[in-house]
């Protein structure tokens, strides 16, 4: 059954610490997706006029990939649940988190797919790569080999996606374990690689929480901006209403994990 409801009436308010009013700044200007001080003008105007498309149900798919044990799950858990587990529990296949934001007054969600780094789960995990708007490639700043494998992760992720549309982030984790001298050595290589890949570079610690919120706010903001711009281009001069049709069955289905093709 289809019901016609206002988006705002079915969702509880967004958490107060997920409200983004201004464009968060990049981590390093040398390797950033943009170095603007503020959100795109067209996007700002659209938000002010509530002309941003499917208001309330704007979602971007984000996949998080990288070697085993580099800290992908810890990064997501620090941000989404504000916890840190020092014991390693390998992700089997994929895990999924939905994180809701409000950007310039418009509800927006990131669908975060935490994939397994272990080789034996890679085959299952890669079936979830398709349709990603954002690809986050994670390496451990104390493990040069994990940085060396970044290109391979990129290649695998882009096989399933349109490379010209994907927003790419390169994230170094476990910053708390490295000395400033060690860190700056690996940062030099990471920045070069990020520039080559056209990725935005960040370094974080899930243990201390350093830069974790800043990083995800940046991801959410840039994904939102791109998402709204695409919507504005698609619609041209057509007005997009703030009321959308929700099919209760299909809406539930989008929140469930997708079955690999072979299981359908």
Ligand X SMILES: Nc1nc2c(ncn2[C@@H]2O[C@H](COP(=O)(O)OP(=O)(O)OP(=O)(O)O)[C@@H](O)[C@H]2O)c(=O)[nH]1
Q: Which string of DSSP letters, residue by residue, matches 57-118?
A: --EEEEEEEESTTSSHHHHHHHHHH-----S-----SEEEEEEEEEETTEEEEEEEEEE--S
Question: In this complex, which beta carbon is closest to Mg ion, that of residue 91 or of residue 133?
Answer: 91
Does 82 interact with ligand X (rule: CB under 6 A)?
no
Query: By 3-state DSSP, what share of the chain in percent is helix, strand and coil, each rounded to 5?
Result: 40, 20, 40
CA distance 89 to 85: 9
* Stretch of 22-30, 88-96, 155-163, 177-185 contacting Mg ion, by CB under 5 A: 88-96
Does 211 interact with ligand X (rule: CB under 6 A)?
no
Nearest to 91 by CA among 121, 120, 122, 116: 116
List Cβ neighbours of 254 (8 Å cut-off, separation of 6 or more). Answer: none
Does 221 interact with ligand X (rule: CB under 6 A)?
no
Does 123 interact with ligand X (rule: CB under 6 A)?
no
* Stretch of 5-13, 159-167, 185-193, 205-213 contacting ligand X, by CB under 6 A: 205-213
Does 226 interact with Mg ion (rule: CB under 5 A)?
no
Query: Rule CB under 6 A: which of 37-76 touch ligand X?
Result: 68-74
Does 205 interact with Mg ion (rule: CB under 5 A)?
no
The binder of ligand X chosen from 60, 205, 226, 227 (CB under 6 A): 205
What is the CB-side half-sphere exposure of residue 165 using CA atoms within 13 A?
14
Residue 66 near residue 138, CB atoms below 8 Å: yes
Question: In this complex, which beta carbon is closest to ligand X, that of residue 133 or of residue 146?
Answer: 146
Does 206 interact with ligand X (rule: CB under 6 A)?
yes
Residue 118 beta carbon to Mg ion: minimum distance, rounded to whole angstroms: 9
2-6 and 243-247 strand pairing: antiparallel
One character per residue 182-201, x = contact with ligand X (rule: CB under 6 A): --------------------
* Stretch of 22-30, 65-73, 145-153, 206-214 contacting Mg ion, by CB under 5 A: 65-73
Does 178 interact with ligand X (rule: CB under 6 A)?
no
Residue 200 beta carbon to Mg ion: minimum distance, rounded to whole angstroms: 22
CA distance 218 to 216: 5
Does 207 interact with ligand X (rule: CB under 6 A)?
yes
Structure tokens at 36: 């603007």
Does 173 interact with Mg ion (rule: CB under 5 A)?
no
On the 0-12 / 13-18 / 19+ scale of CB atoms within 10 A, 86 is exposed
- Residues of the shown chain interacting with Mg ion in the complex, contacts defined by CB under 5 A: 72-73, 91
């Amino acid at each position: 059954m289809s019901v016609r409801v206002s988006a705002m009436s079915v969702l509880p308010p967004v958490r107060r610490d997920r409200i983004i009013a201004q464009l968060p700044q990049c981590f390093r200007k040398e390797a950033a997706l943009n170095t603007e001080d503020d959100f795109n003008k067209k996007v700002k105007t659209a938000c002010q006029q509530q002309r941003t498309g499917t208001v309330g149900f704007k979602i971007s798919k984000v996949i998080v990939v990288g070697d085993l044990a580099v800290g992908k799950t810890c990064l997501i858990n620090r941000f989404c649940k504000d916890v840190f587990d020092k014991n390693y529990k390998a992700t089997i296949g994929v895990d999924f988190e939905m994180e809701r934001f409000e950007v310039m007054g418009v509800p927006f969600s990131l669908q975060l797919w935490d994939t397994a780094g272990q080789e034996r789960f890679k085959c299952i995990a890669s079936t979830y790569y398709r349709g990603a708007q954002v690809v986050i490639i994670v390496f451990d700043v104390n493990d040069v080999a994990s940085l060396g494998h970044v290109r391979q992760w990129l290649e695998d992720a882009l096989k399933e996606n349109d490379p010209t549309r994907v927003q790419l982030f390169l994230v170094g984790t476990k910053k708390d374990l490295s000395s400033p001298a060690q860190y700056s050595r690996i940062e030099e290589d990471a920045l070069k690689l990020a520039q080559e890949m056209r990725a935005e570079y960040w370094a974080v610690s899930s243990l201390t929480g350093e830069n974790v919120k800043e990083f995800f706010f940046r991801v959410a903001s840039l994904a939102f901006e791109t998402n709204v711009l695409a919507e504005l281009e698609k619609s041209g001069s057509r007005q997009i209403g703030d009321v959308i049709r929700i099919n209760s069955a299909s809406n539930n289905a989008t929140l469930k994990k997708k079955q690999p093709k072979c299981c359908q």
